[in-house]
Amino acid sequence: MLIKILRRDLRKKKSITSVLFLFVFLAAILAASGTGMISKLFQSMDYLFTKAETPHFVQMHAGEINKQEIEDWAMNHPFVSKQQTVEMLNIDGTKLLLGNKQEPEINSVMDISFVKQNEAFDYLLDLENELIQLSSGEIAVPVYYMVRDQLQIGDEVSIINGNERITFTISHFLRDSLMNPSMVHSKRFLVSDEDYQLLKVHIKESEYLIEFLLKDIEQLNNFSQSYQESPLPSGGPTLDYQTFKILNGLTEGVLAVTIIFISLLLIVIAVLCLRLTILATLEEDYREIGVMKAIGINQAYMKKIYMSKYVVIAATASLFGYLMSLWFSPLFTRNMATYLGLVPRNIVDYGTPFVAAFLIFIFCLVCCRMTLRKFNHISTVEALRAGKTGRISKGQGNFPIHKNRFVPINLLLAIKDLFSRGRMYLLLFVVYIICTFIMIVPVNFLNTIQSSSFINYMGIGKSDLRIDLQQSEDMSARFGDILTYIEKDADVEKFTSLVVKRLKVAGSDGRLENMNVETGDMSLFPLEYLKGNIPNKENEIALSYLNSEELNKDVGDILQLEVNGEMKDLIVSGIYQDITNGGRTAKAIFPTDHEQAIWYVISLNLVNDVDVSEKIKEYTKVFHPAKVTDIKGYLAETLGGTIEQLRLLTIIAIVITLGISILISTLFVKMIVAKDSSQNAILRSIGFSLRDIQGQYVMRLLIVLFAAILSGTILANTVGQNFVSALWSMLGAARIEFVINPVHAYLLCPFLLLIAVTVTTLISTNSIANNKISEMNAD
């Protein structure tokens, strides 16, 4: 009996059932995938950390050390199981050439060091998570570079030291449990023991990792305290096992949490849809319920009949979602597989996503049960009296149509319906707002990042042209030549030259860190500052947002910088946004030599009637190999890849948004049409055509859509803008203001939603043609 009713109901309401299924299915896929990712992440991290024998405590130190003293201390310490001191040879990125790339690592903020394989623990592993052993001439490169530069085994890595060039061949890519993630700004390259000795002759700068493996990791805090109290070296930061775990887990973890968040959003939509559908069904079957109650059918049994449909939908959707997540799993864990290596599939990999999908199922059931509590409030007499058309809705008195003289009748009826059933349309309104938000935010941000004003977030002022001269043997001589040429060029209105140097700055923990500092006159092409002003005095410095955060410096604070071999106190004059060079730059006007210059920048404006593109051609030819670009060209070159990715993301967001609006509109319209069947039959009997009635539905949905687009757009331009700023603050831009293309944001996007909703409504209301008053009477 139950199966019969169920089958009939599912057949009768195919579209509504399909949409409900889809929402729960998508939510289940994402929840299962997200939790699956998290479980895989923890397992993979444990696997890598076990294989690598990751140290529990690491003290970094730059400067002299006494190895014997450390070993003695460790040997006598009750908590220590093993101890080793790792020497790292540090080189400047400008001296490193990777693969086929001929340009050195100038823009990179990575601290690059060379090491040999460790003997006791903290092993550097290959892509199979096995210990790497190298022969002379071979090098193992961190996976970060493999992914970033698409390096291959057999490619070359060269170190340029003055006139000398040492070349290695890549034989392995390495996983480094301490420095794997891209957000860790130190990377270890592994060479053979012989090559290490050779490099040691050429590279004078070194740093130490004093590493400890404890007998019991529970003692980590006590051990850390006892190390701090000891006289052992502490000229650098301390790191521990938990930090390594957090750093390794963060990137993938953020992705997994995002996926779970989207799944929660979908499940909220799904549950709202379920609730709406159940309420609509109850209202449709109001009289039947009354009859069943009147003839004494048990209420629990009736609830069971209604529940069974949703149990079947939620169970199949969750189950298929779970199975699909297993199939999708390699896609979601691809990055994790590269950086951490995956443990073989096991019961946990199947179990965790299953639990997530099962929770989705349970959540749906609980919501259905709660909604079905309405059953208890249905009075038999009231239900029987209300008849076939269900309860008389409230709100007849609102918005009387005979008081209106001009508004077309179909529009009047549409508005009246919105007034009398406002709560029902709330679901649609909320989902449309979400859709508008998801669509407009990436569109606006894409437009912002493509606009020339985005230069504000790149730490440079606006100029017609920019000349970048990167490191080469005769860089300073060329720079002089360029300046002489420009000074004599009558087409140039004004220009300024800036020297970028890599200087040592005292970090918050006292350790010296590298920082790119741009020096020169910045007043000609001023920059917008988040706080404070440009440096006007020689003892002032402006910091990029990320530098100010990491160094924990605000406007007015003192910063210590090593200039010409001496530590100098500088006052922070301002903080600006900069996403270039990893977001870590600074600007100062103190006089400087060209000793440590890593590149030069010349910004210039041309007099009015000069053709910029012609000038670019001329300068490119004359100043070769310097890069000459206008602002747009510079933006395209610097952000080209990001813009492409963002464009893809925007397209995906638009497709998802349209998909959700089509699904929710289908569900809503199908449901409401089923609910309104008798009313529509009456309308048709008194002369309303199918078109008229379809028009009313389109108008109702479009009114809701317009209101949602308006609210969604306001939210996108306020909350969305802050959200993007919060995300990009990690890259260096903390206060992004959208540059809006009104055609895209206010015409094209709403138009797409409008078309999707209109077409969906028209298709979904075609069934009104079957609502015949003759059949209603036959009932």
Partner 1 sequence: MNTILEAKELTKFTGDKESGQILKSVNLQVSEGEFVSIMGPSGSGKSTLLYNISGMDKATKGHVKLDGQEITLLPEKELSRLRLNEMGFIFQQIHLLKNLSIFDNIVLSAYLAENNSRELINKRAIELMEKTGILSLKDHDITQASGGQLQRVAICRALINQPKIVFADEPTGALNSKAAAEIMELLIEFNQTGTAILLVTHDLKVAAKTERVLYMLDGNLVGEKKLGKYQLNKNDLREREELLSRWLAKMDF
Binding of residue 770 to partner 1 (CB under 8 A): no
Which of positions 430-459 make contact with partner 1 (CB under 8 A)? none
Separation CA 420–CA 422 (nearest Å) = 6
DSSP per residue over 387-421, as a string? -TT-SPPS-TTSS-GGG-SSS-HHHHHHHHHHHHT
Separation CA 492–CA 628 (nearest Å) = 14
Which ranges of 537-676 does DSSP label H, i.e. alpha helix?
545-550, 612-622, 631-675
CB 90 within 8 A of CB 112: yes
Binding of residue 766 to partner 1 (CB under 8 A): no
**Smallest distance from partner 1 to CB 390, Å:** 8
Which tokens is 29 given? Answer: 């896929």
Residues 6+ apart with CB under 8 A from 562: 503, 504, 505, 512, 568
Residue placing its CB nearer to partner 1 in the complex, 312 or 411: 411
Phi, psi of 298 (to 5 degrees): -60, 130
Binding of residue 228 to partner 1 (CB under 8 A): no
Binding of residue 767 to partner 1 (CB under 8 A): no
Residues 6+ apart with CB under 8 A from 261: none
Separation CA 511–CA 455 (nearest Å) = 32
Residue placing its CB nearer to partner 1 in the complex, 373 or 405: 405
Q: According to CB under 8 A, which one of 252, 349, 417, 464 is a site residue for partner 1?
A: 417
Q: According to CB under 8 A, which one of 197, 346, 396, 718 is a site residue for partner 1?
A: 396
Quick one: which segment of 4-12, 164-172, 410-418, 439-447 binds partner 1 (CB under 8 A)?
A: 410-418
DSSP per residue over 716-758, as a string? IIIIIHHHHHHHHTTTT---------HIIIIIIHHHHHHHHHH
**Smallest distance from partner 1 to CB 409, Å:** 4
Binding of residue 688 to partner 1 (CB under 8 A): yes
Residue placing its CB nearer to partner 1 in the complex, 395 or 526: 395
Binding of residue 401 to partner 1 (CB under 8 A): yes
Buried b (16+ CB within 10 A) or exposed e, 381-392: eebeebeebbee
**Smallest distance from partner 1 to CB 675, Å:** 12
**Smallest distance from partner 1 to CB 376, Å:** 24
Quick one: which segment of 414-422, 547-555, 652-660, 706-714 binds partner 1 (CB under 8 A)?
A: 414-422
Separation CA 90–CA 348 (nearest Å) = 41
Radius of gyration of the chain (CA): 34
Q: Is the dihedral of CA 33, 36, 42, 45 positive or negative?
A: negative
| DSSP code of residue 623 | T
Quick one: which segment of 590-598, 615-623, 651-659, 674-682 binds partner 1 (CB under 8 A)?
A: 674-682
CB 73 within 8 A of CB 230: yes
Binding of residue 423 to partner 1 (CB under 8 A): no
Residue placing its CB nearer to partner 1 in the complex, 200 or 772: 772
CB 675 within 8 A of CB 766: no
* Size of site (CB under 8 A) for partner 1: 40
Residue placing its CB nearer to partner 1 in the complex, 308 or 420: 420
User: Angle at the Cα of 656 (from 655 to 658), degrees rounded to 5?
Assistant: 65
Quick one: which segment of 229-237, 257-265, 329-337, 400-408 binds partner 1 (CB under 8 A)?
A: 400-408
Binding of residue 395 to partner 1 (CB under 8 A): yes
Residue placing its CB nearer to partner 1 in the complex, 340 or 671: 671
Binding of residue 686 to partner 1 (CB under 8 A): yes
Binding of residue 689 to partner 1 (CB under 8 A): yes
**Smallest distance from partner 1 to CB 383, Å:** 15
**Smallest distance from partner 1 to CB 292, Å:** 21
Binding of residue 776 to partner 1 (CB under 8 A): yes
Which of positions 333-392 make contact with partner 1 (CB under 8 A)? 387-389, 392
Separation CA 462–CA 449 (nearest Å) = 15
Q: Which residues bind partner 1 (CB under 8 A)?
A: 387-389, 392-393, 395-397, 400-402, 404-405, 409-410, 412, 416-417, 420, 678-679, 681-692, 769, 772-774, 776-778
